[in-house]
Amino acid sequence: MSDLSQKPVADLSEDEARAELKRLAGAIAAADIAYHQHDAPEITDAEYDELRLRNIEIEARFPGLVRIDSPSMAVGAAPAEGFAKVRHGVPMLSLTNAFSDEDVTDFVARARKFFMADILRDADFHLAFTAEPKIDGLSASLRYENGILVRGATRGDGAVGEDITENLKTIADIPHRLKGEDVPAVIEIRGEVYMTHAEFQRLKDHSARFGGQDYVNPRNTAAGSLRQKDPKITASRKLKFFAYAWGIAEDADGNAQPPAATQREVVEKFSAWGFATNPLMIRTESADDLLAHYRTIESQRATLGYDIDGVVYKLDRLDLQQRWGFVARAPRWAIAHKFPAEQATTLLTGIDIQVGRTGALTPVARLAPVTVGGVVVENATLHNEDYIKGIGNSGEPIRNGVDLRIGDTVIVQRAGDVIPQIVDVVLDKRPSSAEPFVFPHICPACGSEAVRELNEKTGKLDSIRRCTGELICPAQGIENLKHFVSRNALDIEGLGDKQVSQFYAEGRIARPADIFTLRARDERAIKKLKDADGFGAVSVKKLFDAIDARREPELDRFIFALGIRHVGETTGALLAKEFGTIEAFRDTAFAAAHHEDGHSVFPEIGGIGETVRSSIMAFFANDRNVQALDDLLAEVKPKPYVVTISADSVVAGKTVVFTGALEKMTRSEAKAMAERLGAKVAGSVSSQTDILVAGPGAGSKLKKAEELGVEVISEDEWFERVGR
Ligand SMILES: [Zn+2]
């Protein structure tokens, strides 16, 4: 079947025409909505016009098929054509760009060279330049005849723009009638339409609250607002306008009549006529002054309230502009000194602390919104507290060792999709009241102490400060609960990541103890779990039974399940073996944590180093962790860890190695079991090895055991032998 939308109207059958009219009505309505309500046209104007034209043609051929919702019948439908084209009286030129200081000194040197004869001849000859911010908006041209605004147009390709008069008239900074007596008969005023940061934020907030499009940056939003077919929408966007140039300027007889003799005077005139003009324009004769003004403007970028992307320098005298002339389509007498595209200067308005799921406290810089590389940046990562102090990961100074303070003017960099970074501080602009940032030692999510660990290997403090509220911190809560029920921890059947996330979100569980009170609470609850998403009476009973079945967990698993930092399965087993009962472990760790020299209280245990001991003590120093543990122990009774080196244990004193895939137990379970029975578990086969327990897939260890004549048994034989 050929594509109906491509079939000539003359060839359409009645059924096909009906289908096409239906499709077109839908497509045109969708395009209208995209254009009017979202400022985000999904098809080009030409494609849109084509749809409407086809609709009209089909309706003309099949008048009986005209739909009730026909686009041609719609009241107040958008005009079929786009904006009318407007030829500018004088083309709107683009400027040559300068990117370095040298480009600017070259520009001034070229001017001096060109006018050298005048400079040598006349001691009073002054070559002056203006410097003003380059507004990051949209150029527009406004034609006034006898002081009345008759037409406003976009820049377009410079020669021909689009007629957006009605939209431009909604901008408060654009007078409909010029003030004063000395207005030329005809003048085209040029300037930049832009959106302030405040207005951009207002639209974004509105969009966030009521749903709507994603506004990327003020410039694009201003562009979308300006090209609205309904001027009421443009009016609602509160656009602004700065006047800074002109095109045609004629008297009543059609003779050229420049508004004044110099660039600066012309702009002053604009102001007198009723336009908004930028207050940051200066006039100077020195390249150094131009560059100094560039830096001043750059450092004010954060507080201007609107986006700028550089500074424009122009030869001030209009007669000299004329003499110097043009190269290609750009004037020789003006140049745009652009700011680096990926950097912007802004204000550091605050430092927030976020708590990650591992308890890491991460500082985030809050910035006065600034557009960098086409995107509005409002925050930047600060990594850690040393970074704020101006210290890098290896202790080296960053930003020349300058710290960051709230109120600082900072240079933000955004390269590609990388998270924006603060690359420098403008120390000259630091307010005298700015104080060094004090990094919190308390977790903002739960109020627990946050600590920096000593790295045993390097002897240095970890750069990350972490919350010690493992069991109670809401930022860490869900991850800790997932860990608590995971396979090598409590291993509760039917309670996986998905159910934990759901229960956490629904407020059914927040801490491990809550898991074991679920059944009792559910019996009393009005909204019962069996009525929740994904559950039924049978599955709920099964889940509760599975939870109850784990009320007497092995001690090593239980200690591991607590999620104490650095306490993995192996450490859990070592601690279980050392202390024998949860009470002994809890009481010793608690006493050590509350002793001024905890390390003297906590026993030395082979395989457990300084870092682990410290993090155990940090855990038990947090009273709320202890409370959460005690609440849990009210529900759960971990089995005492018994080392049974009984005479009848055939493996007591033997060295055992496990290899291959074990099917009835995890490797850590196997290890713990063998140790309970008095065996020594080794990781590799040697002449000291007594027994190798080999599961399916055993490789080099099996081979070596056979070579050494070590006894090899299967997992089943192991269980037979140990009597389980
Ligand atoms: Zn916390």
Residue-wise pLDDT tens digits, 511-558: 999 999 999 999 888 888 888 777 888 999 999 999 999 999 999 999
Between the CA of 293 and the centroid of ligand 1 the distance, in Å, is 48
DSSP letter assigned to residue 95: P
For 619-629, write each residue's pLDDT tens digit. Answer: 999 998 999 99
**Cα 366 to middle of ligand 1, angstroms:** 21
Model confidence pLDDT, tens digit, residues 130-179: 999 999 999 999 999 999 999 999 988 888 888 999 999 999 999 999 99
Q: Report pLDDT digits (tens) over 437-462.
A: 999 999 998 899 999 987 767 778 88
Q: Which element (helix H / strand E) includes 338?
A: strand 334-338
Can you tell me the distance from the alpha carbon of 80 to that of 28, in angstroms, rounded to the nearest whole number? 11
Concatenated DSSP letters of 130-143 = EEEEEESSEEEEEE
DSSP 217: -
String of DSSP letters for 218-280: HHHHHHHHHT-SSHHHHHTT--EEEEEEEEEEE-TTS-B--SSSBHHHHHHHHHHHT----TT
Question: What is the mean pLDDT of the segment spanning 463-469?
Answer: 89
Query: What is the identity of the amino acid at 49?
Result: D
The DSSP element (H or E) to which 299 belongs, if any, is helix 287-299
How much is the pLDDT for 75?
Answer: 35
> From ligand 1's centre to the CA of 698, what distance in Å?
44
**Considering only 86-100, 186-200, 608-622, 655-669, which range has the smallest mean pLDDT?**
655-669
Element (H, E) at 315: strand 308-315
Whole-number Cα distances in Å, 463 to 362, 385, 458: 10, 7, 12
Q: How far is 236 from 172, CA to CA, in rounded Å? A: 11
CA of 256 to the centre of ligand 1 (A): 73
C-alpha distances in angstroms, 571 versus 129, 176, 564, 566? 74, 80, 10, 8
Q: What is the mean pLDDT of residues 36-53?
A: 69
CA distance 721 to 75: 90
- The three-state secondary structure class of 148 is strand
β-pairing, 711-713 vs 691-694, is parallel
Cβ contacts of residue 709 below 8 Å, gap of 6+? none
Alpha-carbon radius of gyration of the chain: 38
**Cα torsion at 146, 150, 152, 153 (round to 10°)?**
-100
Check if 134 is active-site: yes
Residues 479 and 519: their CA atoms lie apart, in Å, by 22
Tell me the C-alpha to C-alpha distance, in Å, between residue 48 and each of 32, 35, 494, 532.
9, 11, 55, 48
The pLDDT, as a whole number, for residue 79 is 34
Q: Residue 648 pLDDT more than 90?
A: no
Query: Exposure pattern of 622-651 as b/e (b: 16+ CB <10 Å)?
Result: bebbbebbebbeebbebeebeeeeeeebeb
Query: In the structure, what pLDDT confidence band is assigned to residue 1 with cuts at 50, 70 and 90?
Result: very low
pLDDT at 415 over 80: no
Q: Which residues, at least 6 apart from 23, have a Cβ–Cβ distance to it below 8 Å?
A: 4, 5
Greatest mean pLDDT among 201-205, 213-217, 484-488 = 484-488
Task: Say if CB 163 and CB 83 are below 8 A apart.
Answer: yes
pLDDT, residue 73, reads 57
CA 442–ligand 1 middle distance (angstroms): 8
For residue 457, report the distance from its CA to the centre of ligand 1, in Å: 26
Report the relative pairing of strands 655-659 and 282-284 from DSSP bridges.
Answer: unpaired
For residue 555, the model assigns a pLDDT of 95
- Residues 492, 495, 497, 500, CA torsion sign: negative
* 302: number of Cβ within 10 Å: 23
User: What is the mean pLDDT of the segment spanning 305-309?
Assistant: 90
Note whether 76 and 32 are within 8 A (CB). no
Contact 222, 239 (CB under 8 A): yes
Residue 144 has which token pair? 């006034």
CA distance 696 to 155: 76
How far does residue 445's CA lie from ligand 1's centre (Å)?
5
Pinpoint the alpha helices (H) of 562-699.
569-579, 582-593, 598-601, 610-621, 623-633, 667-676
Computed over every residue of the chain, the mean pLDDT equals 87
Would you state the pLDDT for residue 723? 64
Percent of the chain whose predicted confidence (pLDDT) is above 90: 45
Residue 443 C-alpha to ligand 1 middle, in angstroms?
A: 5
pLDDT tens-digit series, residues 576-601:
988 999 999 999 999 999 998 888 88
Number of neighbouring beta carbons within 10 Å of residue 687: 7
Measured distance between the N- and C-terminal CA atoms of the chain, rounded to whole angstroms? 71
Ranges 41-45, 116-120, 252-256: which has the least confidence: 41-45
Instruction: Indicate whether 2 pLDDT > 60.
Output: no
Q: Where residue 45 falls among pLDDT bands split at 50, 70, 90?
A: low
Ligand 1 centroid – CA 361 distance (Å):
9
Cα of 358 vs centre of ligand 1, distance in Å, is 9
Whole-number pLDDT of residue 724: 55
Out of 202-211, 217-226, 300-309, 467-476, which region has the weakest mean confidence (pLDDT)? 202-211
Q: Quick count: other Cβ atoms within 10 Å of Cβ 85?
A: 11
Spacing, Cα 560 to ligand 1 middle (Å): 20
Distance 378 CA to ligand 1 centre (A): 25
Can you give the pLDDT at residue 39? 56
Token digits of residue 504: 């956490």
**437 CA distance to ligand 1 centroid (A)?**
20
Find the mean pLDDT for residues 423-440: 92
Ligand 1 centre distance from Cα of residue 131 (Å): 52
Q: Which domains are seen in the chain, by residue range?
A: 4-65 (1.10.287.610), 96-338 (3.30.470.30), 340-466 (2.40.50.140), 474-633 (1.10.150.20), 655-722 (3.40.50.10190)
Give Cα 418 to chain centroid, integer Å. 9
Question: Could you tell me the sign of the dihedral formed by the alpha carbons of 278, 284, 289, 291, in that order?
Answer: positive
The pLDDT value recorded for residue 418 is: 64
Mean pLDDT score, 385-393: 90
Query: Per the residue annotation, which of 113, 134, 530, 654 is the catalytic one?
Result: 134
Q: Where are the extended beta strands (E) located within 491-568?
A: none
**Of 494, 488, 555, 487, which Cα lies nearest the Cα of 519?**
494
- The alpha carbon of 355 and the centre of ligand 1 are apart by a number of angstroms equal to 7
Distance 488 CA to ligand 1 centre (A): 25
pTM for this predicted structure: 0.52
Cα-to-centroid distance, 439 and ligand 1 (Å): 15
Look at residue 308 and tell me whether its pLDDT is greater than 50. Answer: yes
Number of helical H runs and strand E runs in the chain = 27, 24
